Amino acid sequence: MKTDVIAIIGAGKGGTAILETLLKMPSVFIKHVCDVNPSAPGITLARQHGIQCHTQMTEICQDKEVDSIFEVTGRKEIFAQILANKQENTRVIGSEDARIIFHLLDLQQEVSDRLEDNNLILERRVLERTMELEKANTELEKKIIEYEKLNEKLLLINNEKTKYLMHATHQLKAPFAAIQSYADLILDGYAGKIPRMTLDIIKKIKERCLLLTDAIQDMLELANLRSLVRENIKMELYPLDSIITSVANHMAELAASRKVLLSVPATGDIMVKCNKNQILIMLSNLLENAIYYSPSGATATIAIKEDPNSSVRISIIDYGIGIDEKYQSRIFDEYFRANQAVEVNERGTGLGLAIVKEIAQVHETNIEVESVPGKGSVFSFHLKTAQKHKDD
């Protein structure tokens, strides 16, 4: 990711607020801060961080390394002077635009703080529940006759934890939706003409919101899977062709946008015993990865092979970036993503394959991985089958 070189002109209250916010952004390098008052609070903060400080803006305007200049004095003559003397490749963001950006970044920070607070609360609740579980286990060793009653209590505690996680996560959706709405309003032109640099920053804010929304959805899915009592999961016979067609139709738009071809087999009358919704999620995650990590023009394939032991082998095949052997044992860990995967798809949450692993375990199967870096990957698993009778 390219680092943006930034200069700030005006180091009063507004300039200091912008400086504090930009210092938290990893992809930004603040090179200059300027104010006619050498004791301005922004100048003091800049010196503490080793940033070049000035009382004149001549050197800043002449610096060819500067990508963007934030003018936060609010004085039109200074804004005009910067425009007249800046380098050709340097963008200028006025005080009004800077305020909009600061407001959006402030909202984003508020959401991040709230998420951190909720995580701390959740950790405390989990610790409390864990202590209760340890106490319950000790009592079980002494009072075997109370086993069924204590087991019910443990299930209730686990359900409470899951409900709390789901409730806390749902609470985060509204702030993210608000940030996305503000960003969309600006991107659609309702806030007037916005400089290109400002639009680029707003687009990045929206992308981060979408990424966190995806992560919240995956967290909920994983929590749901882990809270289920497996004996209560309904397994029924479904036509494999119907499941695969549904997944392919769901992924068709993504494949078209990435210019990846989908190859889907005809499965005949194969019936599989499974939880249909979970298998749809499992196949969707695997096929989505195959599409995202394949180059334009490549093919992502769903392959079917019947086994003699009343099962069918389902494989998702791609010819994309592949997975280094040293990472193959870790790709099903929560939040783990190889560096190359992050470079190709920044929106990944690192939870998709963890969800796939949970669903595979529910269906008493394993995920097999074959991959060669630069040549592609094959993810395979088995499902139990029952031949459909001709009279059906």
Res 103: pLDDT:
64
DSSP string across 27-93: TEEEEEEE-SSTT-HHHHHHHHTT-EEESSSHHHHH-TT--EEEE-S--HHHHHHHHHHS-TT-EEE
Q: Mention every residue, 6+ apart, whose C-beta is less than 8 A from residue 312.
A: 240, 270, 272, 304, 305, 306, 382, 383, 385
Q: Whose CA is closest to 69, among 107, 95, 51, 40? A: 95
Let me know whether 262 and 325 are in one domain. yes
Average pLDDT, the chain: 81
Q: Is residue 84 part of a domain?
A: yes
Let me know whether 201 and 238 are in one domain. no
- Interval 337-347: pLDDT, tens: 776 676 666 66
- Interval 277-311: pLDDT, tens: 888 888 988 998 899 889 999 999 999 888 877 88
CA distances from 18 to 7, 70, 201, 387 (A): 11, 9, 14, 66
Let me know whether 76 and 197 are in one domain. no
Let me know whether 80 and 103 are in one domain. no
- CB-based contact 291:376 (threshold 8 Å): no
- Interval 29-62: pLDDT, tens: 999 999 999 999 999 999 999 999 999 999 999 9
- CB-based contact 263:318 (threshold 8 Å): no
Let me know whether 239 and 323 are in one domain. yes
- CB-based contact 213:253 (threshold 8 Å): no
Res 389: pLDDT:
45
Domain residues for 105? Answer: 97-227
- In the three-class reduction of DSSP (H, G, I as helix; E, B as strand; rest coil), residue 26 is classed as coil
- Interval 197-255: pLDDT, tens: 888 888 877 777 666 666 666 666 666 666 555 556 788 898 999 999 988 998 898 89
Res 392: pLDDT:
45
* Long-range contact pairs involving 41-45 (C-beta distance under 8 Å, separation at least 24): 41/11, 41/12, 41/13, 41/16, 42/8, 42/10, 42/11, 42/12, 42/15, 42/16, 43/11, 45/11, 45/16, 45/19, 45/20
Let me know whether 351 and 364 are in one domain. yes
Let me know whether 114 and 174 are in one domain. yes
Stretch among 43-57, 168-182, 281-295, 378-392 having the lowest mean pLDDT: 168-182
Res 1: pLDDT:
61
Let me know whether 267 and 363 are in one domain. yes
Q: Give me the mean pLDDT over the 183-201 stretch.
A: 81
Q: Is residue 392 part of a domain?
A: no
Domain end call among 26, 60, 93: 93
Domain end call among 227, 255, 274: 227
Let me know whether 294 and 281 are in one domain. yes
Q: Which residue has the higher pLDDT, 192 or 363?
A: 363
Let me know whether 250 and 218 are in one domain. no
Domain end call among 173, 203, 227: 227
Let me know whether 113 and 239 are in one domain. no
Structure token digits, residue 173: 């959706």
Q: Is residue 380 part of a domain?
A: yes
Provide the domain count of the chain.
3
- CB-based contact 27:4 (threshold 8 Å): yes
Structure token digits, residue 62: 């002449």
- Interval 149-159: pLDDT, tens: 666 766 666 66
